[in-house]
């Protein structure tokens, strides 16, 4: 469990599956010499099961309720916080995010599909037509990402260090 320092996060990362939130978050935390908190990791530690398994077991509505509690805990820590791709679907989470600097780590549908292809740990992406499902997921969630984000960064064809530099510029401005 990360050290709970009871302060606001320096930055919160949101975005779809495969956008690179965890990769960028870890690198940002390292650059800032701050802790990195991933809400999905908190869920896995707290519930003793992988997020994908919990999602499949509980179903999406109940999973989102459980997730909201872990997101609130993550947002009570200092450092860099990465939220699960669907966390923004929950109204209480969107309300909490109003108090924090939020960066939308974004990816095109094509790149997101490529990055998540064959990833069996994400039941939210399981479908007969994974590409169509991913596109639909982006269409459904985009208004929520747009609502909570203070800044948007695309990760397609960009090395992580360039994305990190852009986020650092945003949070230092």
Encoded tokens for 81 = 């916080």
The CB density around residue 146, as the number of other CB atoms within 10 Å, is 12
Annotated binding residue at 99? Answer: no
Give tens-digit pLDDT for 121-155.
665 566 778 788 889 999 999 999 999 999 999 99
Give tens-digit pLDDT for 42-53.
999 999 999 888
Print the SS3 string covering the chain.
Answer: CCCCCCCCEEEEEECCCCCCHHHHHHHHHHHHCCCEEEHHHHHHHHHCCCHHHHHHHHCHHHHHHHHHHHHHHHHCCCEEEECCCCHHHCHHHHHHHCCCCEEEEECCHHHHHHHHCCCCCCHHHCCCCHHHHHHHHHHHHHHHHHHHCCEEEECCCCCHHHHHHHHHHHHHC
Distance CA 158, CA 117 (A): 19
Give tens-digit pLDDT for 6-41.
466 789 999 998 899 999 999 999 999 999 999 999
Q: Identify the pLDDT of residue 6.
A: 47
In sequence order, what are the residues at sequence separation of 6 or more whose Cβ sits closer than 8 angstroms to the Cβ of residue 76?
4, 6
Annotated binding residue at 158? Answer: yes
Annotated binding residue at 73? Answer: no
Annotated binding residue at 126? Answer: no
Distance CA 78, CA 18 (A): 24
Annotated binding residue at 40? Answer: yes
Give tens-digit pLDDT for 57-108.
999 999 999 999 999 999 998 889 999 999 999 999 999 999 999 999 999 9
Annotated binding residue at 146? Answer: no
Annotated binding residue at 94? Answer: no
Annotated binding residue at 21? Answer: yes
Predicted model pTM: 0.90
Distance CA 13, CA 150 (A): 10
Annotated binding residue at 156? Answer: no
Annotated binding residue at 64? Answer: yes
């Amino acid at each position: 469990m990360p050290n709970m320092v009871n302060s606001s996060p320096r930055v919160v990362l949101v975005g779809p599956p495969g956008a690179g939130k965890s990769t960028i978050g870890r690198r940002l935390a390292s650059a800032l010499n701050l802790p990195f908190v991933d809400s999905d990791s908190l869920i896995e530690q707290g519930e003793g099961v992988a997020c994908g398994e919990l999602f499949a077991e509980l179903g999406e509505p109940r999973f989102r309720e459980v997730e909201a509690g872990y997101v609130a805990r993550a947002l009570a820590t200092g450092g860099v916080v990465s939220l699960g791709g669907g966390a923004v679907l929950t109204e209480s989470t969107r309300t909490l995010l109003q108090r924090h600097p939020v960066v939308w780590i974004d990816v095109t549908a094509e790149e997101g599909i490529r990055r998540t292809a064959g990833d069996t740990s994400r039941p939210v992406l399981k479908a007969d037509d994974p590409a169509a499902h991913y596109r639909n997921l982006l269409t459904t969630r985009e208004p929520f990402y747009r609502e909570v984000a203070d800044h948007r960064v695309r990760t397609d064809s960009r090395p992580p260090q360039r994305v990190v530099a852009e986020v650092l510029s945003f949070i230092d401005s």
